[in-house]
Amino acid sequence: MAVHLGFLLILIGLTGIHSITTVSKVSVRAGGSITIPCLYDSKYKNHVKYLCKGYYWNYCSYEIKTNQQNSRKLSISDDKKQRFFTVTIKGLTGEDTGYYWCAVEIKDGPDVKEYFHLSVTGGTPNLYVAQQEITGFKGDNINIQCHCQNSGERKWCRLGSSCVTKSGSIDGTRVSACNNGVLTVTLSGLRTESSGWYWCVKGDLQMPVHITVTEKPTITTSPATTERVKHTTSSADQALSTVGGEKQSVSGKLKSFLIPLSLLIFIVMVAMFILFMFKKQRQTKEESPPTIISNGEVTYSTVKKKRKTGQLGLAEEEVTYSDVKHMRRASEKWSEANTDVDVMYSSVVAVERQTKQRIQAEEDDVTYSRLA
State the pLDDT confidence band at 151, using cuts at 50, 70 and 90.
low
* Mean pLDDT score across all residues of the chain: 74
pTM exceeds cut of 0.85: no
Between 317 and 11, residue with greater pLDDT: 317
Question: How many Å apart are CA 91 and CA 212, to the nearest integer?
Answer: 25
Cβ neighbour number for residue 64 with a 10 Å cutoff:
21
Reported as a single tens digit per residue, the pLDDT across 246-299 is 555 556 667 777 888 888 898 999 988 898 888 888 877 666 555 444 444 444
pLDDT at site 221:
56
pLDDT at site 356:
41
Q: What is the mean pLDDT of residues 52-57?
A: 95
Contact 146, 127 (CB under 8 A): yes
Question: How many Å apart are CA 141 and CA 189, to the nearest integer?
Answer: 6
Nearest to 76 by CA among 54, 60, 52: 52
State the pLDDT confidence band at 197, using cuts at 50, 70 and 90.
very high
Domains for the chain: give ranges and CATH numbers.
16-122 (2.60.40.10), 126-217 (2.60.40.10), 295-369 (no CATH)
Reported as a single tens digit per residue, the pLDDT across 12-47 is 444 444 589 999 999 999 999 999 999 999 999 999
| Neighbouring residues of 64: CB distance < 8 A, sequence distance ≥ 6 | 50, 51, 70, 71, 74, 75, 76, 87
State the pLDDT confidence band at 335, using cuts at 50, 70 and 90.
very low
Q: Mean pLDDT lowest for which of 93-107, 173-187, 241-255, 293-307? A: 293-307
Distance of CA 249 to the CA centre of its chain: 43
Question: How many Å apart are CA 42 and CA 161, to the nearest integer?
Answer: 16
pLDDT at site 176:
80
Pairing of strands 25-29, 112-121: parallel
Q: Extract the runs of DSSP E, i.e. beta strands, from 215-314.
A: 295-309
